[in-house]
Structure 1
Amino acid sequence: MLTTASVPDLDKVAYWNNAVSRTLVPMTVAPRGDGPFDGRIATDRLGCLRVSTMEADAERVSRTPALIARSSEALVAVGVQVSGTATFIQDGRRAEVGEGDLVVYDTTRPYSFDYPERFTTHVFQLPRHMLGVPDSDILEVSGTVIGPTDGFGAVLQPFLSTLATSAHSYSPAVGGKLANSVIDLLATLVAERTRQVPADADTAGSHFVLRIRNHIDRKLGDPALSPEAIAKAHHISVRYLHRLFEGEGITVGRLIQQRRLEECARELARRGRTAPTVSAVAQRWGFVSPAHFSRAFRAAYGVSPREWRTLRTAQDDVGRSPGGAPTPSCTVADRPGAGLPPSSS
C-alpha cells in the first residue's frame, strides 16, 4: 500500500506520480483540484497477473509515447470502475466509464484516463502474449467498455471485483490458478468482441458453469457441499451462482442431490463379493442422514435403495448370456439415473 497520507502537501503530487508509475506502468498524473492531493494504491500478484486498487482525488492520468519507450513489458489491462466516473481515450476512441463498467486497454499505445471526481478503480494487468490472441484483435478490443449487465460484464465484473479485494489472501498455487482463469476469460472476451465466436454465445457463463459442475463432481462426498460453499470456492456471490444456473434447468442444490443419488445408484448396482452397506454408500456420497437418503432415493427411483440393489442384481443375472457376456438389451430406462424426475429449477 502506497499512500500520500503522511507525505507533506508540497510533495504529494510528485510522490503520487512515482507511486502510480511504480505500481502500474510509467504515467504522468495531473490533479484536477487546487487543494492538497490525496491518493492510495495497493497491489498484489497472482501468478502472472498484477492486481491493483487505486483510490484518489480527481486527476488526469496519461501514458505518452516517451513513457512507453521506458517500459520493457507489453501488458494488456482491464479496469473495473468501483466508484466515480472516467473518460478513457486510446487510438482515437473515447469511452465513458461508469460505476461497475469494465474497460480494456493496451499499455503499449498511448492512452489517458480523466477522472472528474474522487474515484476508486481496480486494475488488472497481464503480459499481452499470455492471452494467445493476435495483436490486431487486442487493438480492436482496446477502448471497449463492458457494462455490468452485458453478457461478459455480468460474469467478469463480480469475479474480478472479488478477486481484487481478496488477492492478498491466496497462496501462490491458488493465485496461479486464478490468474489462469482470468486469462481464459479475457481471451474469450477478445474472441467474442472480434466475432470469432457467436455474439450471442454466453461462452464465459458456460465456462463458469462447467467449472462449477466439475467442482460439484469432485466434492460430492463432502457433506458440507452447498451453494454457499461453491460460491465461496469460486469467489462469487450465492445470488450470482444461482443466476448462472438459471438457464441450466436445475438449481444448484437439486444438482448436488441428483448427482449424489446417481453415484449411489451406480454403486449399489455394482456386483461384488463384499458389497458395502446401503448406509456406507450413502455416507460415501455425502448423505449424512440414512433416513433422508432413503426418502430421496425412493422419490427419484420409485424403490428403496435395498430394493434397487436387489432389482439391479437380478437384472444383471438375467441379462447375461450362457457365455457370461452381457446381452445388448439394456435400455435407457435401465440406466442409473433414468428414474430421476425431470430436472427443474
Structure 2
Amino acid sequence: MLLFDTGSIAPADRADAYREATVTETGSCAIDHEPGPDGHISKRIETWNFAPFSMYLNSGNSGFRYWQTARHLRQDSWNTVSIISQAVGQGSFIWNDHQQTMTTRDLIITNKSAGYWEINWTGPGATLCLLADAGQVGLPDRIVHAAVPHVLRSPVTPLLLHHMHGLRQGGDALASGPGADELGQATLALVRALVASVGAPEGMRREVADETRLTRILAYIRAHLADPDLTPARIAAVHNISLRSLYRLCESGGVSLEQWIIRRRLEGARRDLSAPEHTHRTIDAIARSWGFTNASHFTRRFRAAFGASPRTFRAAGARPILEA
C-alpha cells in the first residue's frame, strides 16, 4: 500500500512532508536527503501490516540518511525494534562504533534504546524495514543491543531475509489475506530466534530455539522449495534433529510435512504461470523450477489443487478456476 509519494508535492515542501510522514510511522528521528538529478528529491514509502510488525519499503532517486539517538527516544518514549535490508543499491549502517555495508544480502537489527544508529545510501536506492514496538518483540534491550554487531553470522539471518523479501513480493495480497496474522507471528518468531542466536545467554538461546524451531524449519523449507532434493531427511539433518522428531514437531504444530511442501510448490508454480514476466517460459520449466521433476505428477497435483490443468489455467488468462 502506498503511504507517501513526493510526486504530488511541491519540490520545496518535499523534505518536510517526508519527515512528517516518517516521524508519524517510526517516531522521532533525523533525516537528510541528497538532491536528485533534477535538483529535487523524489521519495516513496510503501507499507504493509503483518502484526505485530509493520513493513516499509522506502525508495528514492537520490541519497538518503536516517538516524536516531538517545535524545529521540527521550522525545517520544517509543522504543522500537527495526530489522532493515537494502532492497536497491548499496548503503551502510552505523551503530556507535560498529559500521557495516548494507546490500540485498545483508541484514541489520537495532532498536531506539541502542544509542546512536543510522542508515544511509548514495544515489538511487531503497531499504526494506520491519518495525515493531520493542515490548511486542519481548526480548530485553540488552539482548537486542548485544546482537546488533553479530547479526550477519547468525544462521537465522538468510531465513529472515528470504522471508522479508517474500513478504515484499506478496505485498498487498498477503497483508490483506486471511494468513496475514500467521505471517506476522512467523516473522516475530524469526526475529526472536535471530536476536537470541547471537545476543542471548545460553539458557535463553535454548529456550527461544525450542520455541521457534518449527517456524525456522518452515522458513528453511520456503527458502529451498525449488530444490528437488528437499527431503524430510535433509530438513531434519540441517536442523540437527532426528526424522522422527521432525515429524513429531510438525504434527504438534498441525503441519503435514510432505503435503505442506507440495502445496507451497504448487502455489509458487501458479504464481509464475500467472506472472507476465514468465510468459516466455514453458510449463515444464516452471514446474522444474519449483521442484517438480515429473511433468505428469505436477499436472495431476495442480489439477487436484486448483481445479484445472496448468495449461488450461494459463490459457484462461491465469484466473483461478477453483480455489482449493
The TM-score range, normalised by the shorter chain, is: 0.5 to 0.7
Which residue does 1:64 correspond to in 2?
Answer: 69
1:38 aligns with 2:42: yes
Deviation string 1:130-186 (CA, Å, 9 cap, x unpaired) is 233222111111244538xx6323211121111123242234752111111111111
Amino acid at match of 2:199: T
Amino acid at match of 1:161: H
The answer for unaligned runs of 5 or more in structure 1 is: 243-251, 258-285, 288-345
Q: Is the 8 A contact 1:3 1:41 kept in 2?
A: yes
Which residue does 2:141 correspond to in 1?
Answer: 135
- 1:187 & 1:239 partners in 2: Cα distance? 34
- 1:238 & 1:194 partners in 2: Cα distance? 41
Which residue does 2:159 correspond to in 1?
Answer: 155
Change in 2 beyond 3 A, CA 1:145/1:188? closer
- 2:193 & 2:288 partners in 1: Cα distance? 24
Amino acid at match of 1:91: N
Match of 2:87 among 58, 82, 89: 82
Could you state the TM-score of these two structures normalised by the residue count of structure 1?
0.59
Give percent identity, aligned residues only.
Answer: 14
Could you state the TM-score of these two structures normalised by the residue count of structure 2?
0.62
Q: Is the 8 A contact 2:269 2:290 kept in 1?
A: no
Amino acid at match of 1:136: R
Match of 2:55 among 51, 54, 58: 51
Match of 1:22 among 21, 24, 31: 24
The answer for unaligned runs of 5 or more in structure 2 is: 222-245, 271-285, 298-303, 306-324
- 2:268 & 2:77 partners in 1: Cα distance? 38
Which residue does 1:3 correspond to in 2?
Answer: 5
Which residue does 1:217 correspond to in 2?
Answer: 256
Q: Is the 8 A contact 1:39 1:54 kept in 2?
A: yes
Deviation string 1:8-67 (CA, Å, 9 cap, x unpaired) is 111121122122222333222111237101100011212221111100220211213333
Match of 1:12 among 11, 14, 31: 14
Change in 2 beyond 3 A, CA 1:115/1:178? same
Change in 2 beyond 3 A, CA 1:66/1:133? closer
- 1:240 & 1:216 partners in 2: Cα distance? 24
3-state SS, counterpart of residue 120 of structure 1: strand
Amino acid at match of 2:15: V
Amino acid at match of 1:140: A
CA RMSD of aligned residues (A): 3.9
3-state SS, counterpart of residue 117 of structure 1: coil
Q: CA deviation at 1:91?
A: 3.0
Amino acid at match of 2:50: L
Match of 1:96 among 91, 101, 105: 101
Equivalent residues in 2 for 1:103-252, closer than 5 Å: 103-108=108-113, 109-146=115-152, 151-170=155-174, 171=176, 173-194=178-199, 196=202, 197=205, 205-208=216-219, 209=221, 217=256, 225-226=262-263, 228-229=265-266
- 1:53 & 1:240 partners in 2: Cα distance? 28
How many residues are aligned here?
Answer: 240
Amino acid at match of 1:14: D
Larger Rg: 1
- 2:79 & 2:99 partners in 1: Cα distance? 22
3-state SS, counterpart of residue 7 of structure 2: coil
Deviation string 1:227-264 (CA, Å, 9 cap, x unpaired) is 5236589xxx999986xxxxxxxxx999xx9xxxxxxx
Query: Which protein has the bigger helix share?
Result: 2
Change in 2 beyond 3 A, CA 1:104/1:238? farther
Q: Is the 8 A contact 2:111 2:144 kept in 1?
A: yes
